């Protein structure tokens, strides 16, 4: 009897969901309009400096933030699919200040350079569930392992970001 071949491990995507006490249209606008993104996007303690959105397939959300230590961080989304107000699919990466070059994570050079992000917006009554799914793409083995090892950190980071969104929506 021949030996069984082992198959490569299936990558597990990172998933986080939260229900917001706000209608889907407002939550969608918070994710897609620059003035609204400036009020909540990013890790706790970071201050948004720039938010430019070209909401179309192939368009980008390019942003700049100031970290608590005073350093600057730049990133971008490249939109793949948009179904307003239900779905956003985009590739997330860190970038240079102009939003052209993809750069390494400023704190972890082994972090994947590109992450496919799928965000769904599901409305029930006047509440909206936002579900974020992340999976690395075009990643090296080291980057995939770093991603898999980073679930706790991603959970903490996204929890803080979504808390800021909840605070924004409560005031909007």
Which of 35, 45, 29, 40 lies closest to 168 in space, CA to CA? 40
> Which phi-psi region, left, alpha or beta, contains residue 164 (left: φ > 0; alpha: ψ -120 to 50)?
alpha
What's the predicted TM-score (pTM) here?
Answer: 0.92
CA distance 161 to 170: 14
Per-residue pLDDT, 134: 98
Mean pLDDT by 10 residues, the chain (172 residues): 43 94 98 98 94 98 96 97 98 97 94 98 96 97 96 96 98 94
Per-residue pLDDT, 12: 87
CA distance 166 to 171: 9
CA distance 166 to 92: 22
Domains, the chain, ordered by start: 14-171 (3.30.530.20)
Contact predicate 76/61, CB 8 Å:
yes
């Amino acid at each position: 009897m021949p030996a069984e071949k082992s198959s490569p491990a299936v990558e597990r995507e990172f998933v986080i969901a939260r229900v917001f006490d706000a209608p889907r249209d407002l939550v969608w606008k918070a994710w897609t309009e620059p003035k609204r993104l400036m009020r909540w996007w990013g890790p706790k303690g970071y201050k948004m400096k720039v938010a430019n959105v070209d909401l179309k397939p192939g368009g980008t959300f390019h942003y700049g933030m100031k970290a608590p230590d005073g350093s600057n961080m730049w990133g971008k989304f490249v939109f793949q699919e948009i179904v307003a107000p239900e779905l956003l699919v985009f590739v997330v990466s860190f970038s240079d200040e102009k939003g052209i070059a993809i750069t390494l994570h400023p704190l972890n050079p082994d972090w994947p350079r590109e992450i496919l992000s799928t965000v769904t917006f599901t409305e029930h009554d006047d509440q909206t569930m936002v579900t974020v799914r992340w999976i690395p793409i075009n990643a090296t083995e080291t980057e995939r392992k770093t991603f898999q090892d980073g679930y706790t950190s991603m959970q903490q980071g996204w929890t803080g970001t979504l808390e800021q969104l909840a605070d924004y929506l409560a005031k909007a």
